[in-house]
Amino acid sequence: MSFFEFNSKLKEYDSVALEKVKPIFEKIDGITEYNQQKVLSAFIKNRVSEADLGVSTGYGYGDTGRDKLEQIMADCMGAQDAIMRHSLVSGTHTLNVALFGILRPKDKVLCLTGRPYDTITGVFGIDGESDGSLADFGIEYRQIDLLSDGTPDINAIRTELTMGGYKMAYIQRSRGYSLRPSLTIQKLSELCKAVKSVSPNTVIMVDNCYGEFVEEKEPCEVGADIVAGSLIKNPGGGIAPTGGYIAGRKDLIEKCANRLTCAGVGKEVGASLGHNRELYLGLFSAPHVVGEALKTAVYSSALFEMLGYKVSPHFDEIRGDIIECIILGSKESLIAFCRGMQSGAPVDSFVVPEPWDMPGYTDKVIMAAGTFTLGASIELSADAPLRPPYAVWMQGGLNFHSAKTGVLLAVQSMINGGDLKI
């Protein structure tokens, strides 16, 4: 019995793609197992008990579940301490708390990876200080543009940092929605070494969004001082309903905690309101779910390359995040892809995505996102601005089998629309 109708030629492509990615899937399984053991041992070491999954209200004093969860997150990130809260409303808010926690007026920040992710530009106040941005508080931002191959310009970074006076070096690990490669742990390690060799007191902060559990090591294990990310991406395991985390050096986490709540109070307060259980369960599942998302990306990369499209990264490249970019080449293909993927979503499968004007974007954007958690990109989803080269950025997949079906429906939709002939 078949539940979906796929072109017979597409089924052949599917089989060949699966065969091709087998050795990569084995590697992913190895990383998943390593990271699952890392997480499990942190749960055991911190003596998680049933009582920790309960509810606190009011000030949230003595919420041992919250405190242990933060220590577990620190252990998983190879850090001394962490903040992990449902009350951090998004990844951007979390990064904002960390930046404002650490930086003071007249401090200088150097971004080592070119222009940061769209929503972060407002936090720094890059395009002119907006009300409440870091620029508004007298914190100076500079960036070193990426080289033409999309990698960091280590020589320019060294030269700039040697001039001194930088409180922070800021690194974005993920490619975000650009065509540059994501930073692997190996590359991050080289970058951190370069920074510390010329400016040992500069704090290295990494935007770790989409990078958690993709490799065996995390940025703090290779020289970063602080990392931050979103719980509706990798470390929430598709279960956390909202939230963010910051992990790193104890003295820096204390500064961030003072910004999160208030000076002198820090992370001792904050009612978990019954969210502990979901945050624990999400973190526990995260390495496995990230593995499923990675398999979805790798499979899609192999499949679309066989179908004649340019993809990035290539299926057998080492990855630093869960994002796959596919150059579809035409507006029609892009729309058909997103509509097909949406038709295979567990939620809102009947919705037909339309290209739409989005605040902060110059071109119309089309998205496929039939998710249990609104905007959760650890669930199978795709975004694409309607402009050449008509690239779609896809990510997520709570389980490979279901996500693969969504990807095949995207291809089938392109075939049905006459945009792809096989």
Ligand X SMILES: *Cc1c(COP(=O)(O)O)cnc(C)c1O
What six digits make up the tokens of 278?
A: 């979901």
Tell me the Cα Rg of the chain. Answer: 21
Q: How many CB atoms lie within 10 A of CB 418?
A: 9
Task: Please report whether residue 213 would count as binding ligand X according to CB under 6 A.
Answer: no
Tell the smallest beta-carbon distance from residue 209 to ligand X (Å). 3
Question: Pattern 34-73, binding to ligand X, x per CB under 6 A?
Answer: ----------------------------------------
Q: Which is nearer to ligand X, 7 or 373 (CB)?
A: 373
- Name 163's Cβ contacts closer than 8 Å, sequence gap at least 6: none
Q: Is 183 left (phi over 0), alpha (psi -120 to 50) or beta?
A: beta
Residue matched to tokens 């996500």: 403
Task: Please report whether residue 412 would count as binding ligand X according to CB under 6 A.
Answer: no
Strand ordering across the sheet containing 324-327: 310-312, 324-327, 391-395, 381-385, 365-368
Task: Please report whether residue 119 would count as binding ligand X according to CB under 6 A.
Answer: yes
Tell the smallest beta-carbon distance from residue 95 to ligand X (Å). 6
Distance between CA atoms of residues 397 and 91, nearest Å: 19
Instruction: Specify the stretch interacting with ligand X by CB under 6 A; choose among 170-178, 260-268, 302-310, 341-349.
Output: 170-178
Residue 177 CB burial class (10 angstroms; 0-12, 13-18, ≥19): middle
For ligand X, the binding residue among 124, 141, 210, 280 (CB under 6 A) is 210
AA letter at 49: S
Instruction: Specify the stretch interacting with ligand X by CB under 6 A; choose among 60-68, 171-179, 305-313, 402-410.
Output: 171-179
Task: Please report whether residue 90 would count as binding ligand X according to CB under 6 A.
Answer: yes
Q: Which is nearer to ligand X, 82 or 97 (CB)?
A: 97
For ligand X, the binding residue among 91, 270, 313, 344 (CB under 6 A) is 91
Residue matched to tokens 């579940």: 65
For ligand X, the binding residue among 207, 215, 292, 419 (CB under 6 A) is 207
Question: Pattern 221-260, binding to ligand X, x per CB under 6 A?
Answer: ---------x------------------------------
AA letter at 149: D
For ligand X, the binding residue among 13, 117, 299, 337 (CB under 6 A) is 117
Strand 140-143 relative to strand 108-111, pairing = parallel
Instruction: Specify the stretch interacting with ligand X by CB under 6 A; choose among 62-70, 117-125, 268-276, 331-339.
Output: 117-125
Tell the smallest beta-carbon distance from residue 256 to ligand X (Å). 16
Element (H or E) spanning 366, and its range? strand 365-368
For ligand X, the binding residue among 35, 56, 92, 96 (CB under 6 A) is 92
Tell the smallest beta-carbon distance from residue 234 to ligand X (Å). 10
Task: Please report whether residue 172 would count as binding ligand X according to CB under 6 A.
Answer: yes
Smallest Cα–Cα separation from 183: which of 214, 157, 155?
A: 214
Is-cis flag, bond preceding 313, omega within 30? yes
* E-only strand ranges, 144-220: 168-172, 203-207
Distance between CA atoms of residues 126 and 121, nearest Å: 5
Instruction: Specify the stretch interacting with ligand X by CB under 6 A; choose among 12-20, 202-210, 259-267, 295-303.
Output: 202-210
Distance between CA atoms of residues 206 and 224, nearest Å: 7
Q: What does DSSP assign to residue 183? A: P
Q: Which is nearer to ligand X, 133 or 333 (CB)?
A: 133
Tell the smallest beta-carbon distance from residue 115 to ligand X (Å). 11
For ligand X, the binding residue among 174, 182, 333, 342 (CB under 6 A) is 174
For ligand X, the binding residue among 109, 209, 294, 369 (CB under 6 A) is 209
Q: Which is nearer to ligand X, 223 or 375 (CB)?
A: 375
Distance between CA atoms of residues 358 and 182, nearest Å: 25
Q: Which is nearer to ligand X, 107 or 383 (CB)?
A: 383
Smallest Cα–Cα separation from 296: which of 217, 416, 379, 240?
A: 379
Chain residues that interact with ligand X, rule: CB under 6 A: 90-92, 117, 119-120, 172, 174, 176, 207, 209-210, 230
